[in-house]
Amino acid sequence: MKILEAKNVTKIYGENAGAVYRALDSFDLEVEKGEFVVIMGPSGSGKTTLLQLLGTIDRPSAGQIWIDQEEVSQLNENQLADFRRKRLGFIFQDFHLLDALSLKENLILPMVLDKRPVDEIDRRCNQLAESLGIAEVLHHRPFEVSGGQKQRTAAARALIHRPSLILADEPTGNLDSKSAHSLMESLQRLKTKEAGTVVMVTHDPATASYADRVIFIKDGKAFQEVRSSGDRSHLYQQIIHVQTVLGGGEGIDIPTARF
C-alpha cells in the first residue's frame, strides 16, 4: 500500500522578485508502507526542499502530494496543522527537546496534546524507551544526557503516536559515529517491528546504507536510484559510486563506516 505519492512536484522561488530559482522540477516519488527511503544529493540539489514539501511545511508551486491517501497540497493551514500533529513524525538534526522538561515529558508530548489516556501514554512510552535504550535516563533533562540519548528521545517522540510517515532531516548530523550507528540500528529495528515508513535526507553514506532505497537528486530532478539487496556494505559502495559521479561526496568518511 502506498503511504506517500508525489506527482510532478515543482517548487519555484523568486517568481515575484524576477530572479526565478527552480528548486524542484516535476519530481515524482512513491513510497510504500514500511519502506525506508533516503534522499541524497549535492548541496542545492533540492533534497531539503522536497522534505519541507512532504512535511507540509511549504507548498509546491505545482504538482500534487498524497500522504496516507490524503491530498495534503489541497489542505488549508488549520487542516495542515492537524494533519502534521496526527499523521507525521519529525526527527531533526537539532534535537528540539525542551530543557525545562524531562526526557519522558518531551517524549510523550504528542500524545499529551492528543489527550490520550494516561495508561496508554505510559505503555507506549515505556515500550519505545526500552527499544531505543533510553529507559534508564527518562527522568533526566536533555542537558544531563549525551547527544545520542537526546536524538533517540527525539526519535521516540516522532514514533510515539504511530504516524503514517516519519520524516528525518540529517538525524545523525550532530552525532559521533558510534551514536549514529546506535540510532540507525534502533530505527531499523523499530521500522521492522512497527512497519513504520521513513523518508530521510542525509549526506552521510553510512547512514544512508540502512535504507531500502536511496534516491539521488540533481538540479531538482531525480538522478539515480539504488536499492538494497540486504547487504549494507554493498549498498554503501553503490552510494559512494553515485556520489562520486554526482560530484557531491560531501561528508564521506569511508574508514569509519561500520557494518
Sequence-distant (≥ 6) Cβ neighbours of residue 243 within 8 angstroms: 40, 205, 216, 249, 252
Is 21 part of a structural domain of the chain?
A: yes
Q: Express each pLDDT in 39-52 by its tens digit.
A: 999 888 899 999 99
Q: Hey, what's the cell of 78?
A: 488549520
| Domain coverage including residue 214 | 2-247
- Quick check: is 53 in a domain? yes
Any domain includes 258: no
The per-residue pLDDT for 182 is 84
Q: pLDDT tens across 102-159, in order?
A: 999 999 998 998 889 999 999 999 989 988 889 999 999 999 999 989 999 999 999 8
pLDDT single digits (tens) 71-81: 998 899 999 99
Structure confidence by residue, pLDDT tens digits, 11-59:
998 766 566 788 999 999 999 999 999 999 988 889 999 999 999 999 9
- Average pLDDT of 186-212? 87
**Considering the domain boundaries, does residue 259 fall inside one?**
no
Asked if 240 contacts 205 with a C-beta cutoff of 8 angstroms, the reply is: yes
Distance of CA 185 to the CA centre of its chain: 15
252 part of a folded domain:
no
End-to-end CA gap in the chain: 30
Residue 120 lies in a domain: yes
How many CB atoms are closer than 10 A to CB 93? 17
CATH number of the domain bearing residue 78? 3.40.50.300
User: Is the residue at 257 inside a domain?
Assistant: no
Confidence of residue 254 (pLDDT cuts 50, 70, 90): very low
Do the Cβ atoms of 25 and 221 come closer than 8 Å?
A: yes
Q: Which residues of 94-126 are buried (b: 16+ CB within 10 A; e: fewer)?
A: ebebeeeebbbbbbbbbbeeeeeeeeebeebbe
Long-range contacts of 130-133 (CB under 8 A, 24+ apart): 131/186, 131/189, 131/190, 131/193, 132/156, 132/186, 132/190, 133/182, 133/186
Q: Do β-strands 62-67 and 2-13 pair in parallel, antiparallel, or remain unpaired?
A: antiparallel
Q: DSSP state, 232?
A: H
Q: How many domains does the chain have?
A: 1
Distance CA 198, CA 38 (A): 8
Is residue 256 domain-resident?
Answer: no
- Residue type (1 letter), 65: I
